[in-house]
A and B are shown apart, each in its own frame.
Chain A
């Protein structure tokens, strides 16, 4: 009997810290709002809110990433040492369609061996450049700048906020600004927890951006029935031109 009680006490003693550990180690959760990105007639970019809870002593970094693709671009150079114009073409490989990173403070401050891996600069190291002998670092820098202008690549610091601590856990909310330029397709949202710059856990979820309503109809017609689409576009333009011409003629009177 005594043995049994002793064993129970020992087991409880062992279990107590273990359950506390479990609360800390339970991986970060990820909830998306909205769950899918609908690109309708009035779509002008949107805000994706990522919420969940994570160990209280960890920083949460949220990453929104599109699949890698190959990109063909034109490169400008100086002809005859005088005029800037398109000189050659460059092919980039392994370029993510989108790359948005949200953190509670600037990435340099969360920095550590693992958090650095999440930043734009490390992602850029995986981009390959083909078809040119020019300075690759400069070309990749330009590519990042171009994608940055389009809002497709960004490090959004102060985009993660935390709720109050509750039993070693706290909630987090990340707000990601998705640009109008976001292409339809599937994207990965990841929440990574970091302690002193080292990764302690990671949870990921898929989301899809798709055309709906008017844009979906138009794109379907344009890509599947190109010739019909072209004729329709021409006829409508012709009729609009004629219609407006007649309206103005009526108003202006005979000349």
Chain B
């Protein structure tokens, strides 16, 4: 064949199959466009399997997500699915929380057994969020098929909604159709930022359920706004990693990007055809699948007990 199948990646220090990386990018982009998650949870371990060092896999993936989420954000923006005000507030909280989280993890590591605590918390949280979303979506799909697209409106105000309505500095978020205290996205953004920094993941998986259940935003706006926020987080990570650790492989990122931007565009269109509840059920299944995979890896003895330092 005259078309080269392999490319050498100087930062990763290995060569990769071009079609394999393009395909991988396409699948991850599709998920990202549909659900508004970065896809790092899926991409990074697959890249490690293909022989890319863990640090390079994670950093290059962030670079790729910049492109994919730009494409996804743009598509969602045109559909009116991006709540910029909400996104910016969450972002500010996320940056504060991320910085704080990095310090927290240093303290935890110094105390020892931090990895155990983090992994178990992560698996439990994925399991809890996944099961909750799954059951909740099925129930609301059964209850009122007429308002499938809406977040289920409670008939009488719960204690939670009483509390959030009592908070100061209430503000209208027109795109999301909610009225909330400015404190809500700021504080929740900070919490997600802390968790994301501790667990070494982008946070889309935690942010999306938070927006749906705690900020009560409609699912479609959640996806667009989440992508908008991920875009800025990943720009920050790409530049910081390139600067301090030299772990961003641009060729690898570009290959994944070509696959993922196409996937993200398709994903946005697929997401638009699905109802909010269907989206939630699919995302819940995905979250549960990731949790099952992590649990399996924790329970079964690995073939090789050594790993190169630098992974999550």
Interface residues of A, Cβ cutoff 8 Å to B? 39-45, 72-77, 79-80, 82-87, 89-90, 138-139, 142-143, 145-146, 149-150, 180-181, 183, 211, 214-216, 218-219, 222-223, 226-227, 229-234, 236-238, 240-242, 244-246, 248-249, 252, 255
Determine which residue in B251, B272, B307 has the highest number of CB atoms from chain A within 10 A of its CB, and name it. Answer: B307
Q: Does B300 contact A (CB under 8 A)?
A: yes
The answer to whether B309 and A72 touch across the interface, beta carbons within 8 angstroms, is yes
The answer to whether A75 and B306 touch across the interface, beta carbons within 8 angstroms, is yes
A72-B307 Cα distance, complex, nearest whole Å:
9
CB neighbours (8 Å) of A72 from chain B are 309
Excluding A41-B8, A237-B257, A241-B69, 4 further A-B contacts by CB distance (< 8 Å) are A222-B242, A237-B66, A241-B68, A248-B265
Q: Choose among A86, A89, A233 the residue that contacts B248 (Cβ–Cβ < 8 A).
A: A233
A and B contact pairs by CB, cutoff 8 A, 11 listed: A43-B6, A76-B306, A83-B120, A84-B297, A85-B115, A85-B116, A149-B304, A223-B246, A226-B244, A238-B66, A240-B67
CB neighbours (8 Å) of A244 from chain B are 71, 261-262, 265
The answer to whether B246 and A234 touch across the interface, beta carbons within 8 angstroms, is no
Task: Provide the B73-110 mask, 1 if CB < 8 A to any CB of A, else 0.
Answer: 01100110000000000000000000000000000000
The answer to whether B304 and A142 touch across the interface, beta carbons within 8 angstroms, is yes
CB neighbours (8 Å) of A138 from chain B are 305
The answer to whether A237 and B64 touch across the interface, beta carbons within 8 angstroms, is yes
A244-B7 Cα distance, complex, nearest whole Å:
23
CB neighbours (8 Å) of A41 from chain B are 7-8
The answer to whether B10 and A211 touch across the interface, beta carbons within 8 angstroms, is yes
The answer to whether A234 and B13 touch across the interface, beta carbons within 8 angstroms, is no
Q: Does B298 contact A (CB under 8 A)?
A: yes
A216-B9 Cα distance, complex, nearest whole Å:
10
Determine which residue in B64, B71, B272 has the highest number of CB atoms from chain A within 10 A of its CB, and name it. Answer: B71
Tell me, rounded to whole Å, the shortest Cβ–Cβ distance linking A70 to chain B: 12
The answer to whether B10 and A146 touch across the interface, beta carbons within 8 angstroms, is no
Tell me, rounded to whole Å, the shortest Cβ–Cβ distance linking A183 to chain B: 6
The answer to whether B250 and A218 touch across the interface, beta carbons within 8 angstroms, is yes
CB neighbours (8 Å) of A248 from chain B are 71, 75, 265
> Given A227-B242, A229-B242, A241-B71 in contact, is the A43-B15 Cβ separation under 8 Å?
yes
Total contacting residues, chain B, CB less than 8 A: 64
CB neighbours (8 Å) of A142 from chain B are 304-306
Tell me, rounded to whole Å, the shortest Cβ–Cβ distance linking A100 to chain B: 17
Task: Provide the B263-285 mask, 1 if CB < 8 A to any CB of A, else 0.
Answer: 00100010010000000000000
The answer to whether B115 and A44 touch across the interface, beta carbons within 8 angstroms, is no
A230-B251 Cα distance, complex, nearest whole Å:
13
CB neighbours (8 Å) of A80 from chain B are 116
A38-B258 Cα distance, complex, nearest whole Å:
28
CB neighbours (8 Å) of A216 from chain B are 10
The answer to whether B306 and A73 touch across the interface, beta carbons within 8 angstroms, is yes
CB neighbours (8 Å) of A180 from chain B are 6, 8, 14-15, 51
The answer to whether A234 and B63 touch across the interface, beta carbons within 8 angstroms, is yes
The answer to whether B63 and A86 touch across the interface, beta carbons within 8 angstroms, is no
The answer to whether B79 and A255 touch across the interface, beta carbons within 8 angstroms, is yes
Q: Does B239 contact A (CB under 8 A)?
A: yes
Tell me, rounded to whole Å, the shortest Cβ–Cβ distance linking B12 to chain A: 9
The 7 closest A-B pairs by CB, nearest first: A230-B242, A241-B70, A237-B67, A215-B10, A44-B6, A245-B74, A180-B15
A80-B11 Cα distance, complex, nearest whole Å:
37
CB neighbours (8 Å) of B254 from chain A are 236-237, 240
Q: Does B4 contact A (CB under 8 A)?
A: yes
The answer to whether B239 and A39 touch across the interface, beta carbons within 8 angstroms, is no
Q: Does B169 contact A (CB under 8 A)?
A: no
A61-B67 Cα distance, complex, nearest whole Å:
51
The answer to whether A234 and B235 touch across the interface, beta carbons within 8 angstroms, is yes
A240-B256 Cα distance, complex, nearest whole Å:
12
A233-B253 Cα distance, complex, nearest whole Å:
9
CB neighbours (8 Å) of A240 from chain B are 67, 70-71, 254, 257-258, 261
Tell me, rounded to whole Å, the shortest Cβ–Cβ distance linking B307 to chain A: 5
* Residue of A with least CB distance to B308: A73
The answer to whether A42 and B7 touch across the interface, beta carbons within 8 angstroms, is yes
Task: Provide the B291-312 mask, 1 if CB < 8 A to any CB of A, else 0.
Answer: 0000001111111111111010
Tell me, rounded to whole Å, the shortest Cβ–Cβ distance linking B201 to chain A: 16
A215-B8 Cα distance, complex, nearest whole Å:
7
A242-B250 Cα distance, complex, nearest whole Å:
18
Tell me, rounded to whole Å, the shortest Cβ–Cβ distance linking B7 to chain A: 6
Q: Does B160 contact A (CB under 8 A)?
A: no
A227-B253 Cα distance, complex, nearest whole Å:
17
The answer to whether A234 and B238 touch across the interface, beta carbons within 8 angstroms, is yes
Tell me, rounded to whole Å, the shortest Cβ–Cβ distance linking A117 to chain B: 25
A80-B119 Cα distance, complex, nearest whole Å:
13
CB neighbours (8 Å) of A74 from chain B are 306-309, 311
Q: Choose among A84, A90, A222, A241 the residue that contacts B250 (Cβ–Cβ < 8 A).
A: A222
CB neighbours (8 Å) of A241 from chain B are 66-72, 74, 257, 261
The answer to whether A230 and B10 touch across the interface, beta carbons within 8 angstroms, is no
The answer to whether A139 and B235 touch across the interface, beta carbons within 8 angstroms, is no
